[in-house]
Amino acid sequence: MDGTDGRKNALPSTRELVEKYGLMAKKALGQNFLLDGNITDKIMRLSLAAQGRKDLAGETVAEVGPGPGGLTQAVLRQNPEKLTAIEMDERCLEILGEIKGAYPQLDIVNGDALKFDWAGKAATEGKFHIVSNLPYNVSVVLLAGWLEQIENIKSMTLMFQKEVADRITAIPGTKDYGRISVIAQLQCDVVRLFDLPPTCFVPAPKIWSTVLLFKPKSVSVKRQVLERVERLTEAAFGQRRKMIRQSLKGVPGAVEKAAALGIEPTLRAENLTPEQYLALAGD
């Protein structure tokens, strides 16, 4: 056994680390800590299995909002070449530093994930995986940003509020189907891994959570086309009870393009598939 193995074995559990440092979750940061190692290991096990991977050997990973490092340790146990943990709460840095003592491949960044240079990371390190128990208050904003640069990403294993996950995975013709459903499903195959009850978290939120795996499609939608899809969905779902012959009037040429594609003008926003929105956005 080398020194690193010894430090790994001596590393306290996440719950023990939280008690040791007296760390309390901050509601203002959207924090709900996941302390059960069995659950964090399950997240990684199911995600890797759905990707056809044995582990993360040789892979680069990024984690947003690691907090006290429960999911961080689960990722590190899968032997990535490097894990970059981006945490804006300075109170968590000491705990993460203790984890780094056992896992030298952990790189800790004290900063805001919304301002992080994701494209720069890909340019210097190549394509990477993202794993995160996302802060509830910025989850959709972060996801939308990653979907716009999906060509840099190998996979995303992300935890959301269940109601947000329901929107992301919703199918056309349902009440949950909306803009984020269209964009996510155009760029990725989205796999629902499992739901978690509030009791899994400290403090316990009022809602259930869901872990989703995003597997980028072999050919991603180009940035300029995706921007047109976003304009179309903003117009259509902004007036979702109106027929598209009305709701799409604000997008130049959209009503005429829909007619040329054989899309019924009496349909509403939730009736169009992601592929139909893509066709409308095409040249």
Helix (H) or strand (E) holding 238: helix 223-238
> Does residue 170 surpass a pLDDT of 80?
yes
> Does residue 1 surpass a pLDDT of 60?
no
The predicted-structure confidence for 104-161, as pLDDT tens digits, reads as follows: 999 999 999 999 999 999 999 999 999 999 988 899 999 999 999 999 999 999 999 9
- Top pLDDT among 229 and 6 is at 229
Tokens of 216: 């980028």
Res 11: pLDDT:
82
**Cα 239 from Cα 262, distance rounded (Å):** 21
Res 40: pLDDT:
97
Q: Averaged over 54-73, what is the pLDDT?
A: 97
Confidence band, pLDDT 50/70/90 cuts, at residue 6:
low
Confirm whether 3-216 and 223-281 share one CATH topology.
no
| Domain 3-216, second-level architecture | 3-Layer(aba) Sandwich (3.40)
Confidence band, pLDDT 50/70/90 cuts, at residue 2:
low
Q: Averaged over 8-37, what is the pLDDT?
A: 80
> Does residue 191 surpass a pLDDT of 80?
yes
**How many other C-beta atoms lie within 10 A of the C-beta of residue 283?**
5
**Cα 236 from Cα 239, distance rounded (Å):** 6
Task: Give me the amino acid identity at 139.
Answer: S
Residue 163, CA atoms < 13 Å, CB-side half-sphere: 4
Q: Phi-psi category of 65—alpha, beta or left, where left has phi over 0 and alpha has psi -120 to 50?
A: left
> Does residue 5 surpass a pLDDT of 80?
no
Res 4: pLDDT:
65
Angle between the N-to-C axes of helices 139-148 and 162-169, in degrees from 0 to 180, rounded to the nearest 10: 30
108, 85 in Cβ contact below 8 A? yes
Res 3: pLDDT:
57
Domain ranges for the chain? 3-216, 223-281
> Does residue 167 surpass a pLDDT of 70?
yes
Homologous superfamily assigned to 223-281: rRNA adenine dimethylase, C-terminal domain (1.10.8.100)
The predicted-structure confidence for 209-263, as pLDDT tens digits, reads as follows: 999 999 999 999 999 999 999 999 999 999 999 999 999 999 999 999 999 999 9
* pTM as predicted: 0.93
Tokens of 135: 């802060």
Backbone φ and ψ of 142, nearest 5°: -65, -45
On the question of a cis peptide bond just before residue 66, with omega within 30 degrees of 0, the verdict is no
Confidence band, pLDDT 50/70/90 cuts, at residue 33:
confident
